């Protein structure tokens, strides 16, 4: 059995938010879930002081990042790109290298295009890459699912937001856990009510 990858470490992880732009909103499958879970990832990263990189693909035509996300991190300047892979843009790679982080979490759109190509290139550059499966999507469900499956096949870690959160926290009742406890209690499925027991357990 292959050796598992390194656990995600607070001191070695950065978050990448890829192209969650307003023009895509009516086109992407379960865009409300992508926005809700990307918001959770951004707030989690912000409270634990993880570097956050935000990209916009050809924003002149496709519009800015949705305000639900950009308003959370007004200090983070979006990186404009025209390459499908974020790693194909030298401004992005310069910003990523300046963080000195080797573990990268990806969220955004589209799963089978910009997210997949970015993940592939970062793997080739030696980064440990994690994709938040419940914070990515595509216009068609088939492309979303195939993008995730192929990323897993080439060595990307496919995890949910909560897997990422709890792996990085490792233990409850620490200062870090208390800082993000309210995020852990949030419903990851917009429009669906969580069982009360689940809500209580997250605050243990």
Name the nearest CA neighbour of 101 among 56, 152, 159, 49: 49
At which residue do the structure tokens 């490792």 appear?
170
Catalytic pick from 19, 89, 121, 134? 19
Catalytic residue list contains 153: no
User: Would you give the end-to-end CA distance of the chain in angstroms?
Assistant: 34
Q: Are strands 103-109 and 79-81 parallel, antiparallel or unpaired?
A: unpaired
Q: How many CB atoms lie within 10 A of CB 174?
A: 10
Given the residues 86, 89, 107, 114, select the one marked as catalytic: 114
Q: Among the options 81, 89, 121, 161, which is catalytic? A: 81
The DSSP symbol for 111 reads I
DSSP 53: E
Give catalytic status of residue 81 as yes or no.
yes
Catalytically active residues, by annotation: 19, 81, 114
């Amino acid at each position: 059995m292959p050796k598992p990858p390194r656990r995600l470490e607070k001191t070695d992880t950065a978050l990448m938010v890829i192209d969650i732009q307003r023009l895509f909103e009516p086109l992407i499958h379960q865009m409300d879930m992508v926005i809700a879970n990307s918001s959770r990832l951004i707030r989690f990263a912000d409270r634990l002081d993880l570097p956050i990189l935000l990209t916009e693909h050809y924003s002149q035509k496709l519009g800015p990042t949705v305000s639900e996300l950009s308003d959370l991190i007004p200090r983070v300047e979006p990186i404009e790109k025209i390459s499908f892979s974020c790693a194909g843009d030298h401004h992005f790679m310069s910003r990523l290298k300046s963080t000195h982080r080797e573990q990268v979490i990806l969220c955004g759109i589209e799963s089978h295009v910009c997210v997949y190509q970015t993940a592939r290139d970062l793997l080739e550059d030696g980064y440990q890459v994690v994709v938040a499966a419940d914070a990515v999507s595509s216009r068609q469900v088939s492309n979303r699912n195939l993008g995730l499956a192929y990323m897993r096949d080439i060595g990307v870690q496919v995890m949910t937001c909560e897997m990422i959160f709890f792996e990085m926290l490792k233990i409850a009742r620490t200062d870090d856990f208390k800082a993000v406890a309210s995020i852990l209690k949030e419903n990851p499925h917009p429009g669906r009510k969580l069982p009360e027991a689940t809500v209580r357990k997250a605050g243990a």
